[in-house]
Amino acid sequence: MTDEGSEPVGTGVEADADATAGDSDAADDPDGADSDAADDPDGAADTVVPIDDLELDRFYDAVEAEGRPVVTASEVARRLGTTQASAAAALDDLVDDGTVDRVSVETDPVVYFPTEWRELAARERIVVFPDRRELVVDQPRQYTRAQLSQFAHLVDSTGDRERSVADGETTSRGYKYEIRPEDVWQAPFDDVEELLSVMRSVLPRRSPSLEEWVRSQWGRANRFRLVTHDDGYVVLEAASESLMGNVARQNLDEDELVAPISETESWVREGAEAAIKRTLYEAGYPVVDDRDLDAGDPVDVDLTTHLRDYQEDWIDRFEEQRSGVLVGPSGSGKTVTAIGILAAIGGETLTLVPSRELAGQWRAELLEHTTLDAGQIGEYHGGEKEIKPVTIATYRTAGMDRHRALFDSRGWGLVIYDEVHHIPAEIYRRSADLQTKHRLGLSATPVREDDREAEIFTLIGPPIGTDWSRLFEAGYVQEPEVRIRYLPWDDEIARNEWANAEGRDRHRVAAENPAKIEETRRLLDAHPDASALVFVDWLDQGEKLADALEAPFVSGEMPHHRRDRVFDSFREGDLDTIVVSRVGDEGIDLPNAGVAIVASGLGGSRRQGAQRAGRTMRPAGGSRVYVLATRGTSEEEFAQRQMRHLAEKGIRVIESNVDDGASGE
């Protein structure tokens, strides 16, 4: 028997370290039986006994002893102490009786499993592998996915797809989660007991080894602290002499630490806080930032907008932490909450945005929701350069050497990082060195395809607003219904073009499958009263779709004034459909819609998928997202990956095949 660290919790069986023996082992035995059977301490009989009839209970015993949901005849023979031929014959008799089922798979000739497990497959099941810190979930409920998202990372949401005879739909069954150290470090709980309580409410039974590991990781997140000395300089504190000597001083040099103060304290060089956080985080010890942050030069500002209860909670959480990242869904009011935090801090504020257009939108929002007047708000970017008590600048401009001194010299009390997922990029991360200020990040999708999203929380602060299910249940934000639809090729000409293409061209041909035009028409006809946004990544495809739908195509080539008129017409109901290129993913004030159709996507970007789906997350009304993918191409994987962030937040993603002539719904 293995220790608990190797046991898959939730199966109710013991896992055997030798359970991987397969049919190839039996081939070496001249009698056809597994030669290890007599030596197996976990339930194999001491002698080889042929069996004519196999009782179902004995089959269950063999399955449980193997610790796997399916078994081969060789494994049953080993567990029951019989020959492989005898076990196979007896198993086939159970198949004939209907109590056992079998299927041929790639890695074994035939595997067997209890027939009733087909029915169990329709229920929620969670299997935990504590030693790997992995969770495998079949048919998870929304509650389960929402809770798991608070302490686990969704690795894969594709799983097996099961066809429904009634409606032809397929749904993603399998979800694989991993609990990483950073998931524990960033978990939105006040203490480890609260985190463990949520884990216990979801997992099928307690796992002492997994809980002990979570406790140890939680402790690692609180072993180093940055504090402000009475004389005004910053000190790095370690929980022990060993940590300071063997971790901090071994990984940090004189560029970060000026000199030791005691066995557990070191004097931090001014401006080195961000570098220290990065280095110790990579060493496995996230730093708690307890410094006295600058309040900034005061600004006379009041909020004029009534906030929702959860927005008030977000502000309270931020004031307590003095830094953090708002990660609420689109439509939850993150910008207004940020403005509420600005008013609560009451100090001069620098807001960093990725584009000039977003700078203009922030100015409008500040004037609408606060008592600030136009003379108190400045913009600093390529088109305008004006520093005011509340300044909105682009990341690129703020990171330039010739402008940096100007930003550093101002008495900011708060720095707001809009679309904070840009921070890990080299051109943007310099702005994160403004570590002496209150820091607030905003992003519905703080995920990056380079897996550097952990750095966002390291440099800016812990996440706030991660429990999306509460907002869905309260009706503040409409949970979208997400459907991935796999389409056949429109004709053999298109398929042949794809087959002969290579690399990026192959992906482009699949994305531009002409069948998507007709499918988009069908989907729009199925929702005649809904406003719709159709997203594309390729300009040629966007122009063809716009012509076919008789709708405007908004791309980077459209002048700003014309784009604004199109969006105004859409908001006012004069237009019901717009085709939008990648320019609509962020940086422009794209209107919300009742239906979003993703005709092509950016190589499976999770952030892009969530941003596009977010355009349908309105407080009321239906909310549909359709992702179109050409069957049998890389688009299948891209579509599944694009929706992974939403699936992680508890949103159901339904997959279906579209046959020739099938209806859009």
* pLDDT tens profile 113-169: 777 666 555 567 788 888 889 888 877 776 787 788 788 887 765 543 433 333 444
Please answer whether residues 156 and 35 qualify as being in contact, where contact means their C-beta atoms are separated by less than 8 angstroms.
Answer: no
Q: Domain extents for the chain?
A: 4-119, 123-216, 222-285, 309-468, 478-657
pLDDT at 31 over 70: no
CATH dotted code for 478-657: 3.40.50.300
Percent of the chain with pLDDT over 90: 19
Q: What is residue 68's predicted lDDT score, i.e. its pLDDT?
A: 65
Q: What is residue 426's predicted lDDT score, i.e. its pLDDT?
A: 54
Q: What is residue 465's predicted lDDT score, i.e. its pLDDT?
A: 74
Phi-psi label, residue 34: left if phi above 0, alpha if psi -120 to 50, beta otherwise = beta
Q: What is residue 195's predicted lDDT score, i.e. its pLDDT?
A: 92
Q: What is residue 583's predicted lDDT score, i.e. its pLDDT?
A: 59
223-262 confidence digits (pLDDT tens):
899 999 989 899 999 999 999 999 999 999 889 999 999 9
- Same CATH topology for 4-119 and 309-468: the answer is no
The average pLDDT across 579-602 equals: 69
- d(CA 363, CA 384) in angstroms, rounded, equals 13
Fold exhibited by the domain 309-468: Rossmann fold (3.40.50)
The average pLDDT across 577-601 equals: 71
pLDDT at 604 over 80: no
Which is more confident, 357 or 582?
Answer: 357
- d(CA 67, CA 307) in angstroms, rounded, equals 52
- d(CA 127, CA 137) in angstroms, rounded, equals 6
Which is more confident, 276 or 503?
Answer: 276
Query: Is residue 453 exposed (0-12), middle (13-18) or buried (19+ Cβ within 10 Å)?
Result: buried
Q: What is residue 519's predicted lDDT score, i.e. its pLDDT?
A: 92
Q: What is residue 325's predicted lDDT score, i.e. its pLDDT?
A: 85
pLDDT at 482 over 90: no
pLDDT at 67 over 90: no
Q: Whole-number mean pLDDT of the chain?
A: 75
Q: Which residues contact 387 (CB under 8 A, 6 or more apart)?
A: 378, 380, 406, 410
Band of pLDDT at residue 36, cut at 50, 70 and 90: very low
Tell me the helices (H) and strands (E) count for the chain, helix number first. 28, 27
Fold exhibited by the domain 4-119: Arc Repressor Mutant, subunit A (1.10.10)
